[in-house]
């Protein structure tokens, strides 16, 4: 099916995250890149879940959206607690940089996916 605009947007965001991370060193730099990668991955997984239900059963789409949000929130919480309170993990990845980058990737994916899904639904309904 080719690369979607959402995937392309996530990849462009990754390039920007790497550029920002290059301005820092050590755990902060790694936290930015790691947070963005995990945030983008979980966001794409949640988007895929929602799109699956849009194709299979439209009445289930809202529930899938909530499930995707809870998945992103749960992973963010688990990662933040781990990076904050497990010293070896926190020494490798700064939890604050991680969370900012994670949230940025999630937001970016949501913006692109919403536009893409809205366009697809309009085209299929007209």
pLDDT digits 0-9 by tens, 10-62: 999 999 999 999 999 999 999 999 999 999 999 999 999 999 998 899 899 89
| Closest C-alpha to 92, from 82, 100, 102 | 82
**Structure tokens given for 43:** 């966001």
Mean pLDDT of 110-123: 88
Residue 6 pLDDT > 50, yes or no?
A: yes
Residues 6+ apart with CB under 8 A from 39: 72, 76, 101, 102, 103, 104, 105, 106, 109
% of the chain exceeding 70 in pLDDT? 96
Query: For the chain, what is the mean pLDDT?
Result: 93
pLDDT of residue 58: 86
Residue 120 pLDDT > 90, yes or no?
A: no
Radius of gyration of the chain (CA): 16
121: pLDDT confidence band, cut at 50, 70 and 90?
confident
């Amino acid at each position: 099916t080719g690369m979607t605009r959402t995937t392309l947007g996530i990849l462009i965001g990754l390039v920007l995250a790497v550029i920002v991370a290059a301005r820092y060193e050590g755990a902060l730099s790694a936290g930015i890149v790691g947070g963005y990668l995990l945030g983008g991955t979980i966001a794409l997984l949640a988007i895929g879940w929602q799109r699956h239900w849009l194709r299979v059963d439209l009445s289930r789409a809202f529930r899938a959206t909530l499930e995707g949000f809870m998945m992103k929130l749960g992973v963010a919480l688990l990662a933040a607690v781990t990076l904050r309170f497990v010293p070896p993990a926190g020494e490798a990845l700064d939890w604050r940089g991680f969370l900012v980058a994670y949230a940025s990737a999630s937001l970016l994916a949501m913006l692109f996916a919403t536009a893409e899904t809205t366009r697809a639904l309009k085209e299929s309904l007209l």
